[in-house]
Chain A
Amino acid sequence: NAGVMQNPRHLVRRRGQEARLRCSPMKGHSHVYWYRQLPEEGLKFMVYLQKENIIDESGMPKERFSAEFPKEGPSILRIQQVVRGDSAAYFCASSYLDRGGEQYFGPGTRLTVT
Chain B
Amino acid sequence: GESVGLHLPTLSVQEGDNSIINCAYSNSASDYFIWYKQESGKGPQFIIDIRSNMDKRQGQRVTVLLNKTVKHLSLQIAATQPGDSAVYFCAENIYNDYKLSFGAGTTVTVRA
Contact residues of A with B, CB < 8 Å? 4, 31, 33, 35, 40-45, 48, 55-56, 91, 93, 95, 98-101, 103-108
In the complex, the answer to whether A100 meets B91 with C-beta atoms within 8 Å is yes
In the complex, the answer to whether B102 meets A43 with C-beta atoms within 8 Å is yes
Contact with A along B33-53 (1 / 0, CB 8 A): 010100001111110010000
In the complex, the answer to whether B101 meets A45 with C-beta atoms within 8 Å is yes
Please count how many residues in chain B sit with their CB below 8 Å of the partner chain's CB atoms.
Answer: 26
In the complex, the answer to whether A105 meets B45 with C-beta atoms within 8 Å is yes
Task: Pick the contact of B44: A95, A98, A105 (CB < 8 A).
Answer: A105
The chain A residue with its CB closest to the CB of B89 is: A42
The chain A residue with its CB closest to the CB of B104 is: A42
In the complex, the answer to whether B93 meets A100 with C-beta atoms within 8 Å is yes
Task: Pick the contact of A100: B41, B98, B104 (CB < 8 A).
Answer: B98
Q: Which of B30-80 contact A (CB under 8 A)?
A: 32, 34, 36, 41-46, 49
Task: Give the shortest distance, in Å, between B100 (CB) and chain A (any CB).
Answer: 4
For A55, what are the chain B residues with a Cβ–Cβ distance below 8 Å? 98
In the complex, the answer to whether A99 meets B96 with C-beta atoms within 8 Å is yes
- Having A100-B91, A108-B41, one finds 19 other A-B pairs with CB under 8 Å, namely A4-B43, A31-B98, A41-B104, A42-B91, A42-B103, A42-B104, A45-B101, A56-B99, A91-B43, A93-B43, A100-B32, A100-B34, A100-B100, A101-B32, A105-B45, A107-B42, A107-B43, A108-B42, A108-B43
For B43, what are the chain A residues with a Cβ–Cβ distance below 8 Å? 4, 91, 93, 105-108
Q: Which of B84-109 contact A (CB under 8 A)?
A: 89, 91, 93-105
For A40, what are the chain B residues with a Cβ–Cβ distance below 8 Å? 9, 104
In the complex, the answer to whether B44 meets A101 with C-beta atoms within 8 Å is no
Known contacts A43-B102, A45-B100, A103-B100; A91/B91 CB under 8 A:
no
For B44, what are the chain A residues with a Cβ–Cβ distance below 8 Å? 43, 91, 105
A-B contact list, 9 entries, CB within 8 Å: A40-B9, A42-B89, A43-B89, A44-B102, A56-B99, A100-B32, A100-B94, A101-B95, A106-B43
